[in-house]
Chain A
Amino acid sequence: MNTAATETPSAAGTPAAGAARRRGRDVQGTRRLAALLLSPTLLVLALVIGYPVLAGFRESLYARGEGLDAQGFVVEGDRFVGLDNYTAIFQGDRADAFWNAFSNTTFFTLTTVVLETLIGVAMALIMHQAFKGRAIVRASILVPWAIPTAISGLLWRWIFQADGAANALLREQILWTADGFPAKAAVVIAEVWKTSPFIGLLVLAGLQMIPRDVYEAARVDGAGPVQQFFRITLPLVKPALLVAVLFRMLDVLRMFDLPAVLIGVNQKSVETLTMIAWFEASNLRYGSAAAYATILFLYIALIAYLFVKLLGADIIGEARRQTKRERRKAA
């Protein structure tokens, strides 16, 4: 691979170097082609992801507002305020609002991911059984996944009305969509309903890759169903499950649509970090909104880092293994 880089022009003229040069040109051609094919994607991502993240950070150091200039005239526009937007978040009433949103976000992430994982794994185990109606059940599992989140928010808002289906079923009079803990529970229930099938599908795919004779060998050795689950199924499904859980976690941490539609924006009980940032932005306080967004971004990055480090979720692991294998084949 380095031949092209080290090749000197003087060697290129001799006939012996002909083959090397051709190979060198090929490598160079491949590189140029790769760069050509990759650049549109990287360009778009730099434009709509890279730029906003950097510009957002810069924005978070500015405030919009009117000030007086040296001559006493009112000037409008952005004004550099350093870390003021950040310190403001942690002061007084706004500190309460921030910690409330932070703990809501964390609460939703923990509860929904745990429940989703339990229900999803149970679903996968049920669907893994050889059975005639399996195709129908697998089709029905895709229904919650296909419904847009905003629509499912409306759907659950309808179910959780004071005189709606949930209360009729429970024979209770709970004010789900008003405030307080029931509102949180409503969001968790709706979110778990929509996303546990996704985990179920991923785990099912993992289950189907486990060869049957492993279980037979375990049975011969006298392992019961419970032992089989914890000693064989779970370890072998773990890689698939970890990636699914990571994706779900990253998704809940930035939750917006569901609580916004189901309960409403600017509601203390369900306000997430994304919602609080969105509310600031919709009131044109861009600097403050950008500060919230930056904090959320750092929080998500931290959680993703910890998750990958502690549990070893290997997202591009398969890709790496594959290239290694190719290299070995080539060598």
Chain B
Amino acid sequence: MTQAKRLLSYLGFAAVAVYCLAPFYWMTISAFRRPQDQFDNSVVPSRWSWENFSAVFSGGNGFGRALLNSLIVAGLTTVLTLLIGTFTAYALARLDFRFKNAVLGLIVATTMFPGISQLVPLLKLFTDIKWINTYQAMVLPSLGFALPLSVWLLTAFFRQLPFELEQAAMVDGCTRGQAFRKIIVPLAAPGVFTTAILTFIAAWNEFLIALSMVNKKEMQTATVAISKFTGVSGFDQPFGTQMAAGVIVTVPLIAVVLVFQRRIVAGLTAGGVK
């Protein structure tokens, strides 16, 4: 009985792992095929090659610049979000004032708004003020979805911190600001860090805004650039190159996610359960 049960759970675990990893494996393995073997469906490439990876960075694609753009947009979004969100979350978690729940409810409710209803007026506005093809045209709208998420997460994290420590510091003569800086910020660092990772990933993965606010190749983010790679002749899609670019964009994310696995799971579930 226990033996059979054990075998069953082994099988279950294997099924989950295969389900999650098989498509990713296929992307990676396809990236390492030689372009002439691209349509082989063998489980491992007959000949390994880096050709697809060098094709990604070849002149026409401008992929290096696209990576840099993604890094700037996602990085700026993350920094601004944390800067603004931390204060708001502190107020929501620590201070007692009227309409607190209404404010939190309002902030959470904004996550419900579809990106497209945000897009049309902003597109028009940014065209008028000549912001098309600028970083701020991508960063500012991204704050709209990043802020509610991070305020929500940070509030959950701040609530878990011991209130007494901060009070004790204030009794000992710290001002509220000092208590915040010296007691809360160091204690909250792990939560802030988790929020930073989640925000960065969300901003890095953004597509709709980055696609619409930019029409110059040099300003495209990586996700948009990859989807627009063109092959040698206009119509064939260069899958090998796209898979290689996909690997380049995804592997750093996956590495970060695996290293900070526990924190990320805690962050994801803080929104849902806590």
Contact = CB atoms under 8 A, between A and B. Distances in A.
Do chains A and B stick together as partners?
yes
Interface of A: 1, 30-31, 33-34, 37-38, 40-42, 44-45, 47-49, 51-53, 55-56, 59, 119, 123, 126-127, 129, 131, 133-159, 161, 163-165, 168, 193, 197-198, 201-202, 205-206, 209, 239-240, 243-244, 247, 250, 253-254, 256-257, 261, 273-274, 277-278, 281-282, 286, 289-290, 292-294, 296-297, 300-301, 304, 315-316, 318-320, 322-323, 326-327, 330
Contacts of A152: 23
Contacts of A123: 16
Contacts of A135: 261
B169 interface: no
Interface in B114-132: 114-125
B140 to A, nearest CB: 6
A250 B112 contact: yes
Q: For the complex, would chain A's binding face be called helix, strand, loop or mixed by DSSP majority?
A: helix
Given A151-B223, A165-B26, A256 B207 contact: yes
B24 A143 contact: yes
A142 B41 contact: no
Given A53-B113, A320-B101, A127 B16 contact: yes
Contact of A150 (B41, B201, B224): B224
B41 A41 contact: no
A282 B176 CA distance: 50
Contacts of A326: 96
B250 A48 contact: no
Contact of B116 (A151, A206, A278): A278
A12 to B, nearest CB: 22
Interface stretch (B47-55, B56-64, B147-155, B188-196): B147-155
B208 A256 contact: yes
A51 B137 CA distance: 15
A146 B239 CA distance: 21
A143 B150 CA distance: 21
B30 interface: yes
- B-side interface size class: 35 or more
Nearest to A327: B96
A17 to B, nearest CB: 22
Contacts of A134: 13
B37 to A, nearest CB: 13
B254 A143 contact: yes
B110 interface: yes
B137 to A, nearest CB: 11
Given A126-B12, A151-B250, A274-B115, A316 B84 contact: no
Contacts of A261: 207, 227
Contacts of B141: 48
A138 B91 contact: no
B143 interface: yes
B207 A38 contact: no
Nearest to A163: B39
Contact of A44 (B147, B224, B239): B147
B134 interface: no
Contact of A41 (B84, B205, B246, B264): B84
Contacts of B111: 247, 250
Contact of B112 (A40, A244, A301, A320): A301
A281 B208 CA distance: 12
B114 A49 contact: no
Contact of A55 (B24, B90, B121, B204): B121
Given A48-B118, A154-B227, A142 B13 contact: no
A145 B246 CA distance: 14
Interface string B199-219: 001001101100010000000
B261 A138 contact: yes
A201 B110 CA distance: 24
A261 B23 CA distance: 16
Given A163-B39, A274-B115, 14 more contacts: A37-B95, A135-B261, A142-B264, A146-B253, A154-B227, A158-B26, A158-B239, A202-B273, A205-B265, A278-B208, A278-B212, A294-B117, A320-B101, A330-B96
Nearest to B255: A146
A293 to B, nearest CB: 4
A148 B223 contact: yes
Which among B104, B124, B257 has the highest number of chain A CB atoms within 10 Å?
B124
B249 A148 contact: yes
A276 to B, nearest CB: 9
B120 A304 contact: no
Given A30-B95, A37-B87, A319-B101, A49 B118 contact: yes
B224 A59 contact: no
B35 interface: no
